[in-house]
Structure 1
């Protein structure tokens, strides 16, 4: 009669599944968590005078940081708007528009 395949086939499948989960975690979840942590740290450390860009693409300078998770943004001289901290996308610096070769130096 024919011998059934060895029982080692199921343990090989489990090892492969474990490796796939590990690779998924290393390349997808971990970098995303690092980026979210860095963004949260940036938002919590905002101070008056920092230049930022909102998720809507509005550029401005932080005029006042409020205790209620909002801040006052100066979009042009004398023009202010109140925004939520969660609406901040990134810091607006000179590095954004520099060529890649200059940024790496």
Structure 2
């Protein structure tokens, strides 16, 4: 009985190098998951944010815009943080610039 225990206890010389490969193979699914998240979620979101920043930088007085809440209006004044929209003749409302969702093409 003791001879079996001693025979199983000593690892072979080639088994030590396989441990590093096994650790790398365990990381492959994590690397693939990160790549999938990057190309399907992170990268498109960054692209859309860049397009929105470009849209906000190009805003000017007189543009017809739609806000994130669905309000349609014409920009009557603009500064760094906010825009004044005319939503009806003589009715002006102030919005944060970041809430402009799109510019209407007339």
Into which bin does the TM-score normalised by the smaller protein fall? Answer: 0.7 to 0.9
State the distance in 2 between where 1:90 and 1:16 align: 39
* 1:35 maps to 2:48: yes
Query: TM-score, normalised to structure 1's length?
Result: 0.74
What's the secondary structure of 2:62's corresponding residue? coil
Number of equivalenced pairs: 92
* 1:13 maps to 2:26: yes
Query: TM-score, normalised to structure 2's length?
Result: 0.73
What's the secondary structure of 1:27's corresponding residue? helix
State the distance in 2 between where 1:30 and 1:61 align: 32
The structure with more radius of gyration: 2
**For residues 47-98 of structure 1, what are the alpha-carbon distances to aligned partners after superposition, in whole Å with 9 as ceiling and x for unaligned?**
011111112211001111124x11111112222111110221222236xxxx
Query: What is the aligned partner in structure 2 of residue 75 from structure 1?
Result: 87
- Unmatched segments (≥5 aa) in structure 1: 95-105
Between Structure 1 and Structure 2, the one with more helix by share is 2
- Unmatched segments (≥5 aa) in structure 2: 1-7
Over the aligned positions, Cα root-mean-square deviation in angstroms equals 2.2
